Amino acid sequence: MEKLRVALIGYGAIGRVHALGYKAIPFHYGLPNDTVRVVAVATSRAETAEAAAREIGCDVWSADYREVIARDDVDVIDCCTPNGSHAEIMVAGAQAGKHLYCDKPLSLGVEDGARMVAAAQGAGVNTQMTFNMRFFPAMMRARQLMDEGFVGRVFSFRARFYRSSYIDPNKPISWKLRKRDSGGGALIDIGSHALDLVYSLLGEYSGVQATLETVIKDRPVAAGSSELAPVDVDDLAFMHLRTTGGAVGLVEASRLGTGIANELVIEIYGEKGSLRFDAARPGWLEVYDVSDPATPLGGMRGVRLVETGNRYEGQKAPDWSMAPDFVRSHTECQYQFLKAISEGRQARPSFEDGFHIQATMAAAQRSADEGRWVRVNEVLG
């Protein structure tokens, strides 16, 4: 793989995960240590940028992302900032001829997303979304089985992503709870992952009927404050969806999943079999094969566990038998992007893929507002 130099824009929780991933890639794949390097970092304040540079071990830091993008020694811009700034940063990166890696969602809305896609296409740069959940080994195996026709014609699907991160009504307001900064709530924050996983297996969505609910309507403006601010994003998102291939299904997202730290489950049901992925067991895929014998004596029909472990093609360490984890899925997402750049091919999931998810979420928001099924192409102008 060719040597590539990365600049991180933003250094919150996800920025740290990305920095860790870039450092780990050479160890996972037996590559020279300087194959991929984070050479610069930018945050909104000089003091946080300087502290980030010390943690990462890079010499260049700035409170102005434009200074970092303009550098000749940067090949890739990795955007880890809040949703509302994605378009501005990624368009500037495209105009500077940099390859673009962007945290989900693609943007605040369809208009900004279209501008990002057009800028990247016009500049001829490579793009990828941080839909890291695709890169758990069991999900990669599910994709292989779908390509092989294991489930046959798909009847239905179900996906749910539940967290308990916002059940406390005293949790203060933040950018994730303001639509102007985030674009939406649970739908955008975690529903985007669930939508992308189904999309990665079944293809594009054609329409959606959605219910979006804000349960906790006011929150403190700061920790311990008695002053409240209104919440204008959803806590819960429930979607009926139809794919262009004819499958119908449900996708749910909640940040009020009391008792659930982090639960992501995907189910696909078809004429020949079914698949089920649970992110709590990322090294195993549940499968059901209709062709298995069903005789009372000796039959083996039933749900079985397919072992995928920590299998990544070309990985030197850790051993395949070790359980994969969340950070490793991010690392693989980043590695596949850099590998695509080196090999001169389009990375996936691309900005175009991210734009389809953005459009689907916009259709869900319109559906919730208008109380009807909305075709995805309705929101495209």
CB atoms within 10 A of CB 92: 18
* pTM score of the predicted model: 0.96
Helix-helix angle 191-202:351-370, to 10 degrees: 120
Cα Rg, the chain, nearest whole Å: 21
Q: What are phi and psi of 308, to 5 degrees?
A: -115, -25
Tens digits of residue pLDDT in 86-119: 999 999 999 999 999 999 999 999 999 999 999 9
Q: What is the pLDDT of residue 324?
A: 85
pLDDT at 322: 85
pLDDT digits (tens, 9 = 90+) for 173-213: 999 999 999 999 999 999 999 999 999 999 999 999 999 99
Ranges of each domain in the chain: 4-132, 134-325+357-370
pLDDT of amino acid 298: 67
- Residue with the two structure tokens 């200074």: 67
**pLDDT score, position 319:** 87
> What are the average pLDDT values for consecutive 10-residue runs of the chain, which has 381 residues?
97 96 97 97 97 97 98 98 97 98 97 98 98 97 97 98 97 96 97 98 98 98 96 98 97 97 97 97 95 76 92 91 90 98 97 98 98 97 75
Q: Mind listing the pLDDT tens digit for each residue in 222-238?
A: 999 999 999 999 999 99
Per DSSP, 134 falls in state G
**CA 298 to CA 333: how far, in whole Å?**
42
Query: How far apart are alpha carbons 348 and 351 in whole angstroms?
Result: 8
* Chain-centre distance for alpha carbon 129: 7
| Helix extents (H) in the chain | 13-29, 46-56, 65-69, 86-95, 110-123, 137-147, 179-182, 186-189, 191-202, 326-343, 351-370
CATH of domain 4-132: 3.40.50.720
Beta bridge partners of 129: 102
Contact at 8 Å (CB) between 132 and 312? no
CATH (one of 3.40.228.10, 3.40.50.300, 3.30.360.10, 3.10.310.30) for 134-325+357-370: 3.30.360.10
* pLDDT value at residue 64: 97
Instruction: Give the three-class secondary structure for 249.
Output: strand
C-alpha–C-alpha distance, residues 297 and 238, integer Å: 43
